[in-house]
Structure 1
Amino acid sequence: MIYTAIDTFYLTDEQLRDSPSRKDGIDEAAEASLRVYGCDLIQESGILLKLPQAVMATAQVLFHRFYCKKSFARFSAKRVAASCVWLAGKLEESPRRSKHIIFVFHRMECRRENLPIEFLDVFSTKYTELRHDLIRTERHLLKEMGFICHVEHPHKFISNYLATLEAPELTQEAWNLANDSLRTTLCVRFKSEVVACGVVYAAARRHRVPLPEDPPWWTVFDADEAGIQEVCKVLAHLYSLPKAQYIPVYKDNDSFSVRRASDTQASKESPASAVASDRGTAVPSSSSQEKNSLTKAGPEKVKENSDNKDKPVPAELNGKGDQAVNSKSEKSESNVDRTEERERSRSRGRDRDSRGRDSDRDRERDRAKRHRSRDKTSGYSDKEKSRHRSSRDRGGYYSSGDKDRRRHH
């Protein structure tokens, strides 16, 4: 007997209450909010990537199935959502490149957290980290699913049920409710037939369309009244919730942006250090910054220091204070001397380059004059040679004719 594992991934209410997230100290409200937030990311990214609705629905089901076995505290909701979109695109034969998925999630995070939208360089360390993490998370998804990623959506049952019930005007409303049901755990609690009957029932109640009740219409479609009522209850609770916000329960950094949201204040205080950290260069220390400022300063500061030396020093600055002042003045004088030497060497190099260029130009001019004189002399000699040759040919012609005439006579 061969068993297929298509409809085996369904959990009971007790199993959902004892989820790995609850064991890590995440309460029910926070877990539900993170689930809705991840599904919102999947839906929005699918629209930006121009993916069909089947890809987004599959990605949302994979998202819920993964967090039934793993905790939000150990796997980032943002990274898992991106990997679900990438994997679902392959399953539904609408693949997208990893680069495009990373760019879309990076832009969405910047827009959602009010961060400046910056360009994410493909050759940066941040991009390589995100790409490796995307591949790694996809492996975790496949491992937890046991490589069984088949998903059956309630959408394909809705049109058949409404055609049988002769209520085609409820198609759009039921379709929208089915899309919203994917933000909840209904896909891991009930079969697709039960969810389809629940959204059809909710759409009929909203538009006040009567459906046959004697016998009940849902018995024909292998559904029960308790399941339909639970589906309607979960959807009503979903619509009563505010807009989902991200809750930072993940311990490590899970940001798609170049700068973290917590580092925005520090970057405002010191923008140079933020840019240096983004590029991967070392941030200069305070002592090096002081040295750079001293080297950039001209002889004006040296004059000020000399003026300050002439002034009388108070009694409090004797001893160690005098040594510190003298050391600072010596450093500034040495830095100024170095800058002057550099400028002198640069000016010498420029003079040498200009002299070399002038000498090269003179040589080229002399060469051009010599070639012109040679061309003139060669032109005259060639003309004269041609004239001599023509005269010789003429003389030879006449001389041969005279010889023939003499022989004839």
Structure 2
Amino acid sequence: MIYTAIDTFYLTDEQLKNSPSRKDGIDEATETTLRIYGCDLIQECGILLKLPQAVMATGQVLFHRFYCKKSFARFNVKRVAASCVWLASKLEESPRKARQVLVVFHRMECRRENLPIEHLDTSSKKYVDLKADLIRTERHLLKEMGFICHVEHPHKFISNYLATLETPQELRQEAWNLANDSLRTTLCVRFKSEVVACGVVYAAARRFQVPLPENPPWWKAFDADKSGIDESIPKDGSLAGQNANEDPTTAKGSSSALNQEASKDELIKAALDKLKESKNSDDESKNAINGGESREEPDSKLTSDSKMETSGERIKERERDRERERDREKERTRSRDHERGRESDRERGREDTDRDRDKVKERGHRSRDKGKDSGRTEKSKHHSSRDRGYHSSSYSSREKDRRKHHSYA
């Protein structure tokens, strides 16, 4: 029996600090900004494609899991986000075509970078390259996760928890919003969904100042641990970055929210610029290493060039030999086909002669049968006439005897 451990993709804080992105020189702030940026892309794309929230949540979890094993410097954030949306739509049984995902991401990119919005032609080379890259990135996702893409979200636990605790409707909505915001963080790869759900409920209750039962503690009824709940909540008691006593409606409408949005865009641009700089520095270092090697060994380059020339001549000679061999093989096949055609013609001629002989024999048999039938008919006619004469003579003799008898009487 094959056993698959489904719900085991959880990392410690030490493993997150030593992520592949950190090893490539990306600091913690840049990595966090890029994670938030990718999750925003997934959320916005899901809204434009009219996907259910479960698809967007699954896509964000897959995004975090992938970048726990791969570096932001090696894989483009936008392409990975698009592949996560495409894969999550299939996992949650709300599939979308690759064309739809690519068109939406192209439009989002034009809007975010203030570029003129142009239609993505599906017959262009750009679209073909984007589609091939989307499929390739999806394969990378499946490979890194070992094709185990099961995701369990805290949303389904929140409704049950709050219904059991008999909390007001406003608190339920706030807890749901906080659960959506938690997907932009690494909570989904650090804690189980039950612990995250308890942390979300606790944060929402603190924000609305709703008391929760403590004797006995309410979290024990849901198989959660207080230490895990405390770790899953920031010190200010919120998951969205707001204070516990602050009203979310006023925070959204204030000018500070706009400033935060502008600073967020600046942070994303700065993070993307850092990624480009790190890639350029890597390329420059590789080129410098290659240049140093070329300066140190010029003679080896000359010898390698001469070797390449000789090898090129050899390759050309081999190609010529192959062409000659192909021509010979073609000539042989032609002669074989010609010989086969002749043989087939001979066979047809033999079949025709045999058929003619059979026809002649059949005609002879038919003529003999006709002669026999005619002789039989003549004999039958002769016998029938003789029988008629015999019967008529016997009848006439009987008639004469009868007349004689009457005359004597």
Mapping of 1:17-28 within 5 angstroms? 17-28=17-28
- State the 1:4 CA deviation: 3.5
- Whether the aligned pair in 1 keeps the contact of 2:154 and 2:196 (CA below 8 Å) is yes
- State the 1:3 CA deviation: 4.2
Structure 1: unaligned runs, 5 residues or longer: 255-409
Find the aligned partners of 1:164 and 1:173 in 2 and give their Cα distance: 17
Find the aligned partners of 2:215 and 2:3 in 1 and give their Cα distance: 36
- Whether the aligned pair in 2 keeps the contact of 1:204 and 1:211 (CA below 8 Å) is yes
- Percent identity, please: 77
Structure 2 residue aligned with 1:334: none
Structure 2 residue aligned with 1:166: 166
- State the 1:40 CA deviation: 0.2
SS in 2 for 1:243: helix
Mapping of 1:187-336 within 5 angstroms? 187-233=188-234, 236=238, 238-239=240-241, 242-243=263-264, 245-246=268-269, 247-248=271-272, 249-250=274-275
Structure 2 residue aligned with 1:51: 51
- Whether the aligned pair in 1 keeps the contact of 2:175 and 2:200 (CA below 8 Å) is yes
Find the aligned partners of 2:165 and 2:61 in 1 and give their Cα distance: 28
Structure 2 residue aligned with 1:119: 119
- State the 1:238 CA deviation: 5.0
Find the aligned partners of 2:176 and 2:87 in 1 and give their Cα distance: 24
Structure 1 residue aligned with 2:179: 178
Q: Which amino acid aligns with 2:231?
A: E
Q: 1:167 to 1:4 in 2, by over 3 A?
A: farther
Mapping of 1:86-125 within 5 angstroms? 86-125=86-125
Q: Which amino acid aligns with 2:227?
A: A
Structure 1 residue aligned with 2:393: none
- Whether the aligned pair in 1 keeps the contact of 2:199 and 2:233 (CA below 8 Å) is yes
Q: Which amino acid aligns with 1:199?
A: V
Structure 2 residue aligned with 1:318: none
Find the aligned partners of 1:42 and 1:65 in 2 and give their Cα distance: 14
TM-score by length of 2: 0.59
Q: How many residues align?
A: 253
Deviations 1:130-172 (A, max 9, x none): 0000000000000001000000000000011111111142211
Structure 1 residue aligned with 2:65: 65
Find the aligned partners of 1:205 and 1:130 in 2 and give their Cα distance: 46
**Bigger radius of gyration among the two:** 2
Q: Which amino acid aligns with 1:58?
A: T
Structure 2 residue aligned with 1:82: 82
Bigger fraction of residues in helix: 2
- State the 1:250 CA deviation: 4.9
Structure 2 residue aligned with 1:138: 138
Deviations 1:236-289 (A, max 9, x none): 47526752524325559x9xxxxxxxxxxxxxxxxxxxxxxxxxxxxxxxxxxx
- Whether the aligned pair in 1 keeps the contact of 2:59 and 2:87 (CA below 8 Å) is yes
CA RMSD of aligned residues (A): 2.0
Q: 1:238 to 1:17 in 2, by over 3 A?
A: farther
Deviations 1:82-141 (A, max 9, x none): 000000000000000111101111111111111111121111111111000000000000
Deviations 1:339-385 (A, max 9, x none): xxxxxxxxxxxxxxxxxxxxxxxxxxxxxxxxxxxxxxxxxxxxxxx
